[in-house]
Amino acid sequence: MNANTTTQRIVVLGAGYTGMMAAVRLARRTRKMDVRITLVNPSERFTERLRMHQIAAGQQLADYRIPAILAGSGVVFRRAAAVAIDPEARVVTLDDATELVYDHLVYALGSVTDTSNVPGADQHAWTLDDPRLAHRFARRLAEIATAAGTVTVVGGGLTGIEAAAEVAEAHPGLTVTLVSAEQPGHMMGDRARAHLVRVLDRLGVVRKVGVKVAKVLPDAVRLDTGELVASDLTLWTTGVRVAPLAAQAGIVVDEHGLIVTDPALRSVSHPEIRAIGDAAAIRMAWGQVHGTCQTGMAGAAYAADALAKQLRGKTVQPFRIGYFHQPVSLGRRDAVIQFTHADDTPNRWYLKGKAACAYKAMVSGSPVPTYKLSKHLTMRAQLSNGGRATRDIAGRDDRLRVR
């Protein structure tokens, strides 16, 4: 289809970190073309997912609204949820019974915490998926803090560590327990992990390591060892699941429901669909990309640039990304940054203390200023392309001719 004579209809599903980046950057890249971009999201509030642990601990974040962020970009916002995709007809059905026809689709629906695998987790555990729930959690947290209550954080990944530290610092009278199958910070080098452990000790965070939760009760969690841990509030941060929308539509997905992509982040079964962020199964020469903001934002920027080039009939280079760091906040006054190789394994460099706090604030602060700048400037969003480790894409380093 000739973009100069026929309007290209582009639909972006999801206005999280990646969907928003893709929409505003694509609008900038196609500003002189006959393109209509529609961004679909169930809420008009932009959720800063990386900072939900701060809300849960009682802090107030800025209330950003998607229409205000998009103002002046030309992107049309639809407040709705996608309930079905017909990839053959290229139609998205929304929950208000309307349909959107697309020529190109950017699938950025992300993921949510999976509470379905452990009995009682879906009934009695809280998650950090929604700012409204995080605010409710914070109010309940303040109530139990007055009675020197107990909080259990399940999951020793970066989210669990940040949440446990944030809650313990904000409410020092609480007993905060972190339950983890592996040692918290196991993905880091020895020195960075040692600092993390020292801070958790200073904050009084109790650790139950090498165990899993077998059942969540209204006022406790039962471990797989049989031990019962008192818990007035349980915060679940382990395990993710994606929306079943792609699988239900017949789009090729992997065993986790992620859309399988080619080196240009296009669906291998429906190349008019690009998948980014947590919804995409992306493979580099060094291995599978796992969902993080650093890879998601870079993938979104790449997808926007690649689609804009495609509409102009230009060649598209394969997507290349490598990990650069593992930034972890440890409350408001401490942090640790583990720098990494492209495959996310730790290298010798790390930051701690005030320097790490400043670094963390720089790289993990609100992305809204970046979106606003992207409406007017062409910006480079990729921290690292992984160097030599990512150059062998599907056994080659050639350019892709995408039409």
Verify that 261 and 290 share a domain, yes or no: yes
Q: Provide the pLDDT confidence category of residue 70 given band limits of 50, 70 and 90.
A: very high
Share of the chain above pLDDT 90, in %: 84
Q: Specify whether 397 is located in the same domain as 312.
A: yes
Query: For residue 376, what pLDDT band results from cuts at 50, 70 and 90?
Result: low
Give kind and range of the element (H or E) at residue 24: helix 17-29
Beta bridge partners of residue 340, listed in sequence order: 346
Q: What is the CATH number of the domain that holds 391?
A: 3.50.50.60
- Tokens found for residue 138: 């914070």
pLDDT at 348 (0 to 100): 95
- 151 shares a domain with 202: yes
Mean pLDDT (whole number) for 19-44:
96
Using the predicted structure, report yes or no on whether residue 137 has a pLDDT greater than 90. yes
CATH code for position 331? 3.50.50.100
SS3 content of the chain, % helix, strand, coil (to 5): 30, 30, 40
Closest by Cα among 315, 340, 308 to 326: 340
Residue 372 shares a structural domain with residue 274: no
DSSP code per residue over 32-47: TS-EEEEEEES-SBPP
Query: 232, 192, 238: which is closest to 212 by C-alpha?
Result: 238
Q: Which residue has the higher pLDDT, 373 or 324?
A: 324
Residue 307 has pLDDT above 70, yes or no: yes
DSSP 57-71: TT------BHHHHHT
Domain count, the chain: 2
The answer on 210 and 174 residing in a single domain is: yes
Helical packing angle, 158-170 and 190-203, nearest 10°: 30
**What pLDDT score was predicted for residue 3?**
42
- The answer to whether residues 280 and 377 belong to one domain is no
Q: Determine how many CB atoms are found less than 10 A away from the CB of residue 60.
A: 9
Which pLDDT score is estimated for 395? Answer: 38
Res 382 pLDDT > 50: no
Strand partners, 99: 93
Average pLDDT, the chain: 91
Q: Residue 235's beta-bridge partner residues?
A: 126, 153
pTM for the model: 0.91
Q: Is residue 62 part of a domain?
A: no
| Whether residue 95 is found in the same domain as residue 147 | no
More confident residue, 49 or 1: 49
pLDDT in tens, 221-279: 999 999 999 999 999 999 999 999 999 999 999 999 999 999 999 999 999 999 999 99
Average pLDDT score over residue span 33-43: 97
Residue 173 has pLDDT above 50, yes or no: yes
Contact 56, 235 (CB under 8 A): yes
Please give the pLDDT value at position 293. 84
Handedness of CA 194, 365, 309, 106 (dihedral sign): positive
* Residues 213 and 356 grouped into a single domain: yes
In this structure, the answer to whether residues 213 and 343 fall within a common structural domain is yes
Whether residue 70 lies inside any domain: the answer is no
| Confidence band of 364 (pLDDT split at 50, 70, 90) | confident
Question: Band of the pLDDT at 290, cuts 50, 70, 90?
Answer: confident
Between helix 293-311 and helix 17-29 the angle, nearest 10°, is: 30
pLDDT given for residue 332 in this prediction:
94
pLDDT in the model for residue 369:
79
Taking residues 323-331, what's their average pLDDT? 95
Model pLDDT, residue 365 = 79
- Is residue 366 over pLDDT 50? yes
Phi/psi of residue 281, each to 5°? -95, 105
Q: Is the pLDDT of residue 363 over 90?
A: no
For residues 178 and 160, give the distance between their C-alpha atoms in angstroms, rounded to a whole number. 8
Name the residue range of residue 247's domain: 8-42+80-110+243-321+383-401
* 207 vs 390: which has the higher pLDDT: 207
- Together in a domain, 104 and 88: yes
Q: Residue 318 pLDDT > 70, yes or no? A: yes
